[in-house]
Amino acid sequence: MAEENIYEKIGGDEGVRALVKSFYDHMESLPEARPIREMHAPDLASAREKFYLFLCGWTGGPQLYVQKHGHPRLRRRHLPFPIDESARDQWMLCMRRALDETVEDADVREYLFAAFYRVADFMRNQQR
């Protein structure tokens, strides 16, 4: 599945916004995700917006994050936070729920889940 088609396959701008909203709503509401929620600012508005901008480009849509903030440098931006297997799994729990709620096509959902897992695993900077 070509990544450049994913943006359109999930509904373009509206689909990315829905995915981001669902993801952060789960991060705020799931007790299992409390440790990663606490890594974020009390107000998630900025995180929601940056993730939206990033995901637009990452899924093959407009490169909004790069236009506004430059190269994402994901790993470097996440180094201040202790990200271990547990944090990765909490993040993926929120993403799994968001994908299940917002992406209708099962093949696209699974493709994205696998792609997000690779990125989340790459963000780990702590052993465990």
* Domain of residue 54, CATH code: 1.10.490.10
Q: What is the pLDDT of residue 32?
A: 97
| 127 falls within a domain | no
| 55 falls within a domain | yes
Residue 57 to residues 41, 65, 78, 118: CA-CA distances in angstroms? 24, 7, 19, 17
Q: What is the pLDDT of residue 42?
A: 96
| 68 falls within a domain | yes
Q: What is the mean pLDDT of residues 23-30?
A: 98
- Structural domain span for residue 64: 3-122
pTM for the full predicted model: 0.91
| 72 falls within a domain | yes
Q: What is the pLDDT of residue 78?
A: 78
| 16 falls within a domain | yes
**What confidence tens digit (pLDDT) does each residue in 79-122 have?**
788 899 999 999 999 999 999 999 999 999 999 999 999 999 99
Give me the number of domains the chain comprises: 1
